[in-house]
């Protein structure tokens, strides 16, 4: 799922993005694997909670990095993270109260994948461009 | 419907396809049509409200739809299931959101309604006496259509 073009040129962020894409890939692979939904449910739940935790860790680290470098668009970026965290929490709430319905898990998987690609490819790329304009990662 | 509404959708489609799919759509035809209908197996239908009102439909052949989701996920897809159709809906949603941002620069303030996904069923959406525009685009993995019927309020 990870592609070289998603690299932004900041080592810490790129390595976390790779990890995040890899966790999302595991989640989607499990979700889409052949077989009865109930049989793979345990694995779906497990990969999902891993991934959820990692999203939070990554958002926090990325926001701290933006504060450290004084990234001018950090408030807007924080808001994008907060909005997506809210989306994740909304689904988690639904899964906890209504159970892990296959269609809903697939819908969540699709939102997660497309959001991640767009966010990394567009918003995060701009952090890389800012760092580059300030003379690279040494600042 | 004015042809000037087409460009923001075309531009947004090219940008999003490049970013999300590494594909480069080219215009293959643009024509006025009497009926607004989903022309291919997998379609994303979005409503537009605000200064412009109407409907936009992205229609993909099945093989292309499956390939698009494979490019994004890295996983082989063999059926238009809930995951594939939701992913197509998100792509349609992102393109339309970007198109509306471009339209807002021309002072048209609009919103989109959540995407509706149609698989294998054909439905007509036209209103009487209104011509819609059908933009066909070709890509490295197949040809797809964007149908639009947008009117100023």
Q: Which of residues 52-81 of B touch A (CB under 8 A)?
A: 72-75, 77, 81
Task: Answer whether residue A139 is part of any domain.
Answer: no
Task: Answer whether residue A11 is part of any domain.
Answer: yes
pLDDT of A138 higher than 70: no
* Distant-in-sequence, close-in-space partners of A97: CB < 8 Å, separation ≥ 6: none
Block residue for tokens 């990325």:
A62
DSSP letter for each residue of B24-50: --EEEEEEEES--B--SSEEEEEEEEE
Model confidence at B144, pLDDT cuts 50, 70, 90, reads very high
Mean pLDDT of chain B: 93
With pLDDT > 70 as the criterion, what percentage of chain B qualifies? 99
- Candidates A110, A116, A123, A125: best to mutate against B (most CBs of B within 10 A) is A110
Task: Answer whether residue A114 is part of any domain.
Answer: yes
Residue B39: per-residue pLDDT: 83
Indicate the SS3 state at residue A31.
helix
Residue B125: per-residue pLDDT: 79
Task: Answer whether residue A61 is part of any domain.
Answer: yes
Question: Measured between alpha carbons, how far is B80 from B117 in angstroms, rounded to an integer?
Answer: 11
- Range(s) of the domain holding residue A75: 4-133
pLDDT of B38 higher than 60: yes
Check if B82 contacts A (Cβ < 8 Å). yes
Please indicate whether, in this complex, the C-beta atoms of B89 and A110 are within 8 angstroms of each other. Answer: yes
Q: Report pLDDT digits (tens) over A39-65.
A: 889 988 988 888 888 899 999 999 999
B89 vs A contacts (CB less than 8 Å): 110
Domain of A78, CATH number, reads 1.20.120.50
- Whole-prediction pTM value? 0.93
pLDDT of A139 higher than 90: no
ipTM summary value: 0.92
B90 vs A contacts (CB less than 8 Å): 110-111, 114-115
Q: Report pLDDT digits (tens) over A97-131.
A: 999 999 999 999 999 999 999 999 999 999 999 99
Residue A131: per-residue pLDDT: 94
Task: Answer whether residue A79 is part of any domain.
Answer: yes
Nearest CA of chain A to the CA of B33: how many Å?
A: 32
Task: Answer whether residue A89 is part of any domain.
Answer: yes
Question: Measured between alpha carbons, how far is B43 from B116 in angstroms, rounded to an integer?
Answer: 8
Kindly state the tokens that stand for B28. Answer: 């293959």
Residues in chain A: 139
The topology (CATH level 3) of B3-152 is: Chemotaxis protein chec (3.40.1550)
Domain boundaries, chain B: 3-152
Nearest CA of chain B to the CA of A126: how many Å?
A: 14
Task: Answer whether residue A25 is part of any domain.
Answer: yes
pLDDT of B128 higher than 80: no
Q: Report pLDDT digits (tens) over A4-40.
A: 999 999 999 999 999 999 999 999 999 999 989 998 8
Of residues A138 and B52, more confidently modeled = B52
Beta carbons of B151 and B54 less than 8 angstroms apart: yes
pLDDT of B69 higher than 80: yes
* Neighbour count for residue A103 (Cβ, 10 Å): 13
Instruction: Count structural domains, chain A.
Output: 1
Check if B20 contacts A (Cβ < 8 Å). yes
| Of residues A29, A102, A122, nearest to B75 (C-beta) | A29
B96 vs A contacts (CB less than 8 Å): none
Task: Answer whether residue A138 is part of any domain.
Answer: no
Q: Report pLDDT digits (tens) over B78-105.
A: 999 999 999 999 999 999 999 999 999 9
Which of B85, B78, B80, B153 has its CA nearest to residue B116? B85
């Amino acid at each position: 799922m990870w592609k070289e073009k998603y690299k932004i040129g900041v080592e810490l962020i790129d390595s976390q993005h790779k990890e995040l894409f890899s966790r999302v890939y595991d989640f989607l692979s499990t979700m889409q694997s052949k077989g009865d939904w109930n049989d793979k449910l345990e694995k779906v739940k497990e990969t999902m909670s891993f991934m959820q935790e990692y999203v939070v860790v990554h958002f926090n680290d990325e926001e701290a990095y933006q504060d450290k470098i004084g990234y001018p668009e950090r408030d807007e970026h924080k808001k994008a993270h907060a909005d997506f965290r809210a989306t994740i929490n909304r689904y988690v709430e639904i899964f906890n109260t209504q159970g892990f319905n296959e269609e809903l898990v697939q819908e969540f998987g699709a939102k997660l994948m497309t959001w991640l690609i767009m966010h990394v490819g567009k918003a995060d790329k701009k952090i890389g461009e800012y760092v580059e304009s300030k003379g690279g990662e040494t600042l | 419907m004015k042809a000037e509404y087409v460009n923001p959708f075309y531009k947004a489609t090219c940008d999003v396809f490049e970013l999300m799919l590494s594909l480069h759509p080219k215009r293959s035809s643009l024509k006025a049509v009497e009926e607004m209908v989903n022309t291919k197996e997998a379609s994303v239908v979005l409503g537009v409200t605000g200064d412009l009102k109407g409907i936009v439909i992205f229609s993909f052949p099945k093989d292309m739809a499956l390939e698009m989701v494979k490019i994004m996920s890295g996983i082989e897809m063999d059926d238009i299931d809930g995951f594939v159709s939701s992913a197509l809906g998100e792509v349609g949603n992102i393109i339309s959101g970007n198109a509306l941002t471009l339209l807002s620069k021309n002072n048209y303030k609009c919103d989109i309604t959540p995407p509706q996904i149609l698989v294998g069923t054909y439905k007509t959406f036209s209103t009487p006496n209104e011509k819609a525009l059908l933009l066909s685009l070709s890509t490295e993995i197949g040809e797809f259509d964007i149908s639009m019927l947008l009117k100023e309020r």
